[in-house]
Amino acid sequence: DSWADYMHPTWPQVLGRRLGAPVHNFAQAGSLCADIRGQAQRAIMSPQVPKAPGGLLSPETLVVVHTCGNDFIMKMAEAFMGGGLGFLGGVQGGMATPEMLQPNPGVSEVQIMKEFLVSMHRAGARNFLVSGVPIFLDMPVFNMAMPVIAGMVNSGKLEALGVSPGDPPRLAVEVQATALHERWEELVQDFSKSHADSTCVFFDEVAALERLRHSFGPAVFDRSMWDFSMFHPTQWGHDQLGAEAHRLTTEKFPGLAPSTNGVAHTNGVAHTNGSAHTNGVAHSNGVAKTNGYAKEGASAPADGKGKAMKVNVRNVKGDVSLEVACEGSWTTARLREAAAS
């Protein structure tokens, strides 16, 4: 997608530069998760991507996956069409609840990504960085959707998510973002267990954005992070995300020496709906949490102030629930960490 293939260098390309690795970008702006299949084949067949003896991808190749942003933005757009728009005027439309606001989002997309990772492994790749879907509540585009989502919440349309009339509309998006996070993290964990010869790491893009917003302050971050689209990062934004990804990569992939590794992108292996390969780094539509790395940016604001409260948390399937004591200043990543402990 366009978080990997844009008018200026995207964070996977910034990551490659920081690693001192050549980048092969097979991502395509506007592509969907299903498109990573073709991007994977182009990456595997490309004569520009370094190969090991025998024709397989070099084992030092880093495949970077960033995808599904367009898939879920399109699904969110369903809320503005047909029945969704009716809620703005207090009229309940006849359209069904958009898929993005139904339980268990991302099932079909994760299956495609699983197939992609397996195919890249079969082609010789052994290092994978899978980025999460950027469902970030402080992104301007989500503010536009809140009136519509509020109408759905207050009409009882989202009770299947555990969101009842009177609840804040942000809660519905937060529930779905958490569900996607869990599904992507499970994908990475399952792949790692079944491919012991590989390193597959989840880059939690949302947690990275939360860390950056806390670090620079809301005013500077909100003004500098997003371009006119209200959804895509500026060059400054990609530079910051690239720095976050670089810290994680150097920690989790110590064998990828900056002087020799490469970077490649493609809908699945590189940037955007895609991924990228090279003797080192590749991008692709994907998701990532920061295996242990999330802790670094999940701390509460420095002043420690915040109203004490208790939050009821449940997993995606709805079969596990618990109460977590927290403060109003906590980030999503901090709350997630407390719930898991």
**All structural domains of the chain with their residue ranges:** 11-294, 298-341
Q: What is the pLDDT of residue 57?
A: 93
Give CA–CA dist 5/158, Å, rounded. 34
Q: How many CB atoms lie within 10 A of CB 178?
A: 20
Strand partners, 184: none
Mention every residue, 6+ apart, whose C-beta is less than 8 A from residue 189. Answer: none
Which of the 8 DSSP states describes residue 163?
-
- Of 214 and 107, the structure prediction assigns the larger pLDDT to 214
Token look-up 């810290």 returns: 247
Token look-up 């069904």 returns: 96
Measuring CA to CA, how many Å separate 119 from each of 32, 160, 193, 325? 18, 35, 16, 43
Give CA–CA dist 136/279, Å, rounded. 32
Averaged over 45-70, what is the pLDDT? 90
- Of 262 and 26, the structure prediction assigns the larger pLDDT to 26
Are the beta carbons of 65 and 285 closer than 8 angstroms?
yes
Averaged over 170-195, what is the pLDDT? 94
Tell me: the pLDDT tens digits for 186-213? Answer: 999 999 999 999 999 999 999 999 999 9
Give CA–CA dist 186/109, Å, rounded. 13
Mention every residue, 6+ apart, whose C-beta is less than 8 A from residue 79. Answer: 98, 100, 101, 145, 148, 149, 152
Measuring CA to CA, how many Å separate 245 from each of 16, 187, 237, 287, 322? 10, 19, 12, 12, 32
Residue 219's Cα: distance from chain center in Å? 23
195-221 burial code (b ≥16 CB/10 A, e <16): eeebbbbbbbbbbbbbbbbbebeeeeb
Give CA–CA dist 216/17, Å, rounded. 23
For the record, the structure tokens of 202 come out as 């989840």
Residue in 145, 137, 165 with CA at minimum distance from that of residue 98: 145
Tell me: the pLDDT tens digits for 249-305? Answer: 999 998 875 544 444 444 334 333 455 444 444 444 333 333 333 333 333 334 444
Averaged over 216-233, what is the pLDDT? 94
Tell me: the pLDDT tens digits for 139-155? Answer: 998 888 888 889 889 98
Q: What is the pLDDT of residue 73?
A: 74
Work out the mean pLDDT of the chain and round it to a whole number. 78
